[in-house]
Amino acid sequence: MRKISSTLLLALGLLSANTQSHAQITKTADYKNNYSPAIGTFQGITFREAGFSALYAIPGSNGTEFWTCSDRGVNVDCASANTASCRPTYDKMFCFPSYAPKIHRVKINGDSVQILKTISIKRPNATATVGYLLPTGFGSTATEEASTDTVQDCANFAAKRAPKDAWSIDCEAISVDKKGNFWLAEENGPSVWKLDSNGVAINRYCPYANLSGAQTQDILIDTCFKYRKNNRGFENMTITPNGKVYAIIQSPLLYPTKAIGEATRVHRMIEIDPTTNATRMFAYLNDGVINTGSNQIRLQDWKLGDMTAINDSTFLVLEAAARGTTDIKRMYMININQATVVNSGLYGSLTLEGLVDSTGLAGAGIKAVTKTLVMDLLANGWDASLDKAEGVTIINDSTIALCNDNDFAQTCPAANGIPVATANLSHIVIYSLKGANKIPNFVAPTAPPTTGVASVAVADAIQLYPNPSSSKAVVAINLKKEEQVVVSVIDMQGKEVMQPICKHMNAGDQQLEINTAQLQNGIYFVKVAVGTTSTNIKMMVMH
């Protein structure tokens, strides 16, 4: 018998282990945001609600309903817009400056993601927030000004600017506490917000609370977070079963300088105790330099996406980087139990970022959080064309869900402020984990009280007429309050036979029209979903 070398045996063993690992992680479903309300039209493109930047599985929904948030609205790359004499000083153009960032309650239904309920994010006085720039010194620089459109004549440029706003938010993470309050993290400040179940801001944890001009609701976190890289503040946030809040800076802080911040593996993780407002910080190390040449992942290319709590000390975290043909999307399990509490002072003559890597940290007596690879997304069915994997949530110890930010289905490769429509939709992707890949020691979140998450009766009456119908039917609804309404037509086999009609409606008497001319004669059910409740009405079609 031919002798097999030990090297070959080792290779075969690694291949077998790798294959088994992949077999234990299965992409089981992919739902798309096929239908959502329109935001408006800009430069000939009709934009719809999308931009899902976070994900939180709603307890008790059996993994079918989630909270997500909308980012800051449609923003187009514009670093090369207009002429040099009136070029925007901020590299994002805000097409709809009055857009209020949103919290969406969504449901996976058929092959689609259905928006059940929308809550506008609100200031403490209950008026809507905006998504563009924070005031100078509170998250923007003096030279940065937000543009709202391109101009051909620079004389018109001043009219194409949005004023800065103390309650601007670029929402990137969401969670719900035991009392039903929403918690959001955002990257403009960066800051972490606590809101009531109606989306009204209660507190904001930020590094500017000690400055003149801060809002009375602001609570101070370490001022080193003011050094966040532009547009890379808090991309993630989660609440542990014991009620503490955690977030990790998306890219290393430029602290104290850009040169140091772009040459380090160190991200700062913050712990907030909402009971006392006490905070702690830990060090997280990204995966460092990978590859060479134009495809090299540099230290400055790493970004952390969403995170979600497994228990009081363990979390799932998304880590990604792309450059040239190198595209990396990974999910890690991290643990803080053995991590050293760090500060924003100097270690010798260096900040934490200046220590660079594990060797530098060890020299200062610092242990970073531990990391264990859970999944390579691209090796396990994640569609590379979706680009940004920005949301992750745990449904149970064997099931997780991820979502992508689709930039509201637009791109702008020329960075000229002129958007190009894409077919990229927001997705929710479900993965099954088996065997050794199951999530150990998972503690499921406690379902909060009915405020904020449970269904409420919002319609006094729903009528359908004429019934039987020959060419069209009208759904008449009397709404108690502003709500999202979705009307679907389902045949006797339970199949949707028309594209659902989605509309955000005000309180009072409202109507939606169904075109029944396209339907064959027979009996159907009209499903009317108002917020988080739904009603089925039998409809007969007779031409």
Delimit the domains of the chain by residue range. Answer: 6-437, 459-541
pLDDT at 14 over 70: no
**CA gap 428, 395 in Å, rounded:** 13
Top-confidence residue, 458 or 209: 209
Give the model's pLDDT for residue 23.
64
pLDDT at 400 over 80: yes
CATH code at 6-437: 2.120.10
Task: Tell me which residue of 465, 527, 530 sits closest to 491, measured CA to CA.
Answer: 527
Give the model's pLDDT for residue 442.
98
Task: Tell me which residue of 330, 343, 190, 353 sits closest to 266, measured CA to CA.
Answer: 353
Give the model's pLDDT for residue 11.
44
Determine the average pLDDT of the residues in 500-515.
83
Give the model's pLDDT for residue 501.
85
pLDDT at 192 over 80: yes
**CA gap 513, 523 in Å, rounded:** 18
Lowest pLDDT segment from 30-44, 164-178, 366-380:
30-44
What percent helix, strand, coil does the chain show, rounded to 5? 10, 45, 45
Determine the average pLDDT of the residues in 24-50.
94
Instruction: Enumerate the β-bridge partners of residue 68.
Output: 104
Q: Does residue 534 contact residue 528 with C-beta atoms inside 8 Å?
A: yes
Q: Which residue has the tokens 């009620």?
A: 243
Determine which helix (DSSP H) or strand (DSSP E) holds 10, and give its type and residue range: helix 6-23
Give the model's pLDDT for residue 508.
76
Instruction: Enumerate the β-bridge partners of residue 330.
Output: 319, 376
Residue 93 pLDDT grade (very low, low, confident, very high; cuts 50, 70, 90):
very high
**CA gap 343, 224 in Å, rounded:** 9
Determine the average pLDDT of the residues in 146-150.
96
Determine the average pLDDT of the residues in 100-105.
95
Burial group, residue 65, by CB count within 10 angstroms (0-12, 13-18, 19+): buried
Give the model's pLDDT for residue 229.
96
Residue 456 pLDDT grade (very low, low, confident, very high; cuts 50, 70, 90):
very low
Top-confidence residue, 371 or 484: 371
What is the DSSP-derived secondary structure letter of residue 541? Answer: E
Instruction: Enumerate the β-bridge partners of residue 327.
Output: 322
Strand 161-162 and strand 25-32: the pairing is unpaired
**CA gap 58, 47 in Å, rounded:** 27
CATH fold of 459-541? Immunoglobulin-like (2.60.40)
Q: With the C-alpha atoms ordered 254, 257, 260, 262, is the resulting torsion angle positive or negative?
A: positive
Q: With the C-alpha atoms ordered 85, 91, 96, 99, is the resulting torsion angle positive or negative?
A: negative
Give the model's pLDDT for residue 509.
75
Separate counts of helices (H) and strands (E) for the chain: 3, 36
Coil/strand/helix, residue 354: helix
Using CA atoms, how far residue 422 sits from 34, 45, 322, 439, 514, in Å, is: 13, 10, 20, 35, 28
Q: Could you read off the pLDDT of 53-89 as tens digits, one per residue?
A: 999 999 989 999 999 999 999 999 999 999 999 999 9
Give the model's pLDDT for residue 458.
53
Give the model's pLDDT for residue 164.
96
pLDDT at 324 over 70: yes
Averaged pLDDT score across all residues of the chain:
91
**CA gap 92, 407 in Å, rounded:** 12
Instruction: Enumerate the β-bridge partners of residue 376.
Output: 330
Q: Could you read off the pLDDT of 111-134 as tens digits, one per residue?
A: 999 998 899 999 999 999 999 999
Top-confidence residue, 156 or 496: 156
Give the model's pLDDT for residue 13.
46
Asked whether the domain spanning 459-541 has the same topology as the one spanning 6-437, the reply is no
**CA gap 72, 28 in Å, rounded:** 30
Give the pair of three-digit tokens for residue 303: 């970004």
**CA gap 103, 201 in Å, rounded:** 13
Q: Does residue 97 contact residue 162 with C-beta atoms inside 8 Å?
A: yes
pLDDT at 522 over 80: yes
Q: Could you read off the pLDDT of 407-452 as tens digits, one per residue?
A: 999 999 999 999 999 999 999 999 999 999 999 999 999 887 643 3
Determine the average pLDDT of the residues in 296-306.
98
Q: Does residue 368 contact residue 282 with C-beta atoms inside 8 Å?
A: yes
Residue 477 pLDDT grade (very low, low, confident, very high; cuts 50, 70, 90):
confident
Give the model's pLDDT for residue 4.
47
Give the model's pLDDT for residue 207.
98
Give the model's pLDDT for residue 450.
45
Q: With the C-alpha atoms ordered 481, 484, 489, 492, is the resulting torsion angle positive or negative?
A: negative
Residue 532 pLDDT grade (very low, low, confident, very high; cuts 50, 70, 90):
low
Give the model's pLDDT for residue 273.
98
Give the model's pLDDT for residue 5.
47
Lowest pLDDT segment from 32-46, 252-266, 399-413:
32-46
